[in-house]
């Protein structure tokens, strides 16, 4: 799995590729998205290999990236299938995975908490939303008493509510980054509390490198409406190993297993740093808590409704120990870092998530050239501004701007009526917050001064 550090590598590779790619100046000027063209309806290719069409924008004729439309495959949710784990589409931005149901197999929605294009090794994967257990008759919430991994092995953990690897999608879990000196070692993973394994999967994304080993997703019911999930677990042990699937699929979506109880402190598996994996996921949902969003309808069917800080369930001394390890992805702990919240962002500013239409559902990702159907602007504990979902390059990656950059500014400091442009070695992004609920956005190559007029960009909505 590539998390934020892996994204840095991808972004660096993309930047180097951009430097060594030689494009004839005439061709670049002729087919650059946002540049002036002469013949309406003419079609060309830009430097990234995308089709661009000459269209009218106001009084000008401008090259615009041609949107790719996905046709329905004809399959439907609930229709029978024959190959467990196979994935197909049923329309733009939505995938169906073949899963077990009773004695047969049917197609169910695959809800990836990241890019719908390449889940798996390239980023943290998600899962279909699960129904939590009832909170009835619970006088107090469960309390975690055992470390899920020896804290000595861990360099940093991330807050919830940040972005997943390729960006533009809310991270509803905390990412656990072991220290580099433990690379290649099998680091034990333990049950933090008495709980029951209810589903699991053994998976390797179709897009993963040939050498990438299949890994486990584990779903536990704690009771009282609380669930615990782990992703990117490299091996299982004990009772858990006896009930998890053994045939790899291409999805981390859980398959039902024989309910298996484990005790707090009991080892359930292990994680290995290295081999294209830099972290694993620790995800806790609490059905008694519902996250607040600026426009709740975007998230009505998402897996972000009940996600909470996993460390808040720990007994006091262990909670303090884990909260002290919070910091930026792949970095080091930063004193005073909050565990975060899952939210749409800070109203009245550029901070947070934005959607291509007022009715767009979260995590049903579609693309119009460089523009993803949802984008996100955030600042991590290290002060790095992260912009996800806007990629002028065909390589999906977060755009990152460090505090040393002259274009650095927190998105939360860009308020209604303000314009801000961020730039790095790969691209520039300019936004204007036009109201509490609308923002104009344009992305392009080169510096901020080289960006075309904002009319060539997109309007995003809360």
Hey, what are 179's tokens? 């220290």
With beta carbons less than 8 A apart as the criterion, state whether 105 and 96 touch: no
pLDDT (0 to 100) of residue 140:
86
What are the two backbone dihedrals, phi and then psi, of residue 421, each rounded to the nearest 5 degrees? -125, 130
More confident residue, 98 or 287: 287
With beta carbons less than 8 A apart as the criterion, state whether 67 and 369 touch: yes
pLDDT (0 to 100) of residue 34:
63
- What percent of the chain shows pLDDT beyond 90? 64
Neighbours of 77 (CB within 10 A): 11
Domains of the chain: 8-65 (no CATH), 111-323 (2.70.70.10), 352-461 (no CATH)
Q: Residue 30 and residue 20: Cα distance in Å, rounded? A: 20
CA atoms within 13 A on the CB side of 349: 15
More confident residue, 261 or 55: 261
Hey, what are 180's tokens? 């580099």
Q: What is the DSSP letter of 298?
A: G
Q: Residue 392 and residue 446: Cα distance in Å, rounded? A: 10
Largest CA distance in the chain: 72
What is the separation of C-alpha 52 from the centre of its chain, rounded to a whole number of angstroms?
A: 28
Nearest to 244 by CA among 273, 216, 204, 277: 216
- Residue-wise pLDDT for 72-98, tens only, equals 334 456 777 765 554 443 333 334 455
- Global pTM reads 0.72
Q: Residue 235 and residue 188: Cα distance in Å, rounded? A: 9
């Amino acid at each position: 799995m590539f998390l934020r550090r892996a994204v840095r590598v991808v972004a660096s590779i993309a930047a180097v590729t951009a430097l060594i790619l030689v494009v004839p100046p005439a061709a670049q000027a002729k087919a650059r998205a946002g540049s002036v063209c002469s013949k309406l309806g003419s079609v060309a290719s830009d430097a990234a290999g995308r089709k661009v069409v000459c269209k009218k924008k106001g009084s000008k004729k401008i090259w615009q990236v041609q949107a790719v439309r996905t046709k329905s495959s004809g399959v439907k949710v609930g229709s029978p299938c024959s190959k467990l784990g196979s994935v197909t589409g049923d329309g733009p931005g939505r995938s169906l995975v073949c899963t077990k149901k009773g004695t047969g197999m049917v197609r169910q929605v695959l809800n990836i908490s990241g890019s719908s294009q390449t889940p798996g090794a390239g980023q943290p994967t998600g899962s279909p939303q699960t129904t939590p257990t009832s909170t009835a008759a619970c006088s107090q919430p469960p309390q975690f008493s055992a470390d899920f991994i020896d804290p000595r092995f861990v360099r940093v953990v991330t807050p919830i509510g940040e972005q997943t690897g390729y960006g533009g999608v809310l991270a509803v879990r905390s990412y656990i980054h072991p220290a580099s000196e433990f690379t290649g070692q099998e680091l034990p993973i333990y049950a933090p509390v008495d709980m029951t394994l209810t589903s699991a999967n053994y998976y390797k994304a179709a897009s993963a490198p040939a050498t990438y080993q299949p890994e486990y997703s584990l779903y536990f019911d704690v009771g009282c409406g609380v669930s615990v999930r782990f992703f990117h677990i490299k091996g299982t042990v004990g009772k858990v190993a006896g009930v998890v699937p053994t045939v790899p699929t291409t999805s981390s979506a859980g398959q039902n297993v024989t309910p298996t109880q484990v005790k707090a402190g009991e080892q359930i598996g292990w994680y290995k740093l290295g081999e294209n994996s830099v972290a694993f996921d620790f995800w806790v949902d609490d059905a008694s808590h519902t996250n607040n969003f600026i426009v709740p309808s975007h998230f009505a069917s998402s897996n972000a409704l009940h996600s909470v800080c996993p460390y808040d369930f720990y007994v006091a001394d262990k909670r303090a120990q884990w909260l002290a390890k919070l910091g930026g992805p792949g970095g080091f702990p930063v004193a005073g870092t909050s565990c975060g919240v899952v939210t749409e962002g800070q109203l009245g500013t550029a901070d947070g998530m934005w959607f291509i239409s007022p009715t767009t559902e979260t995590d049903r990702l579609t693309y119009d050239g460089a523009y993803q159907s949802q984008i996100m602007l955030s600042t991590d504990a290290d002060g790095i501004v992260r912009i996800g979902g806007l990629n002028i390059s065909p390589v999906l990656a977060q755009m990152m701007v460090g505090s040393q950059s002259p274009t650095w500014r927190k998105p939360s400091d860009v308020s209604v009526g303000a314009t801000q442009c961020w730039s790095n070695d790969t691209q520039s992004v300019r936004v204007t917050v036009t109201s509490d609920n609308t923002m104009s956005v344009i992305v392009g190559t080169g510096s901020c001064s080289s960006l075309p007029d904002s009319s060539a960009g997109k309007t995003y909505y809360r």
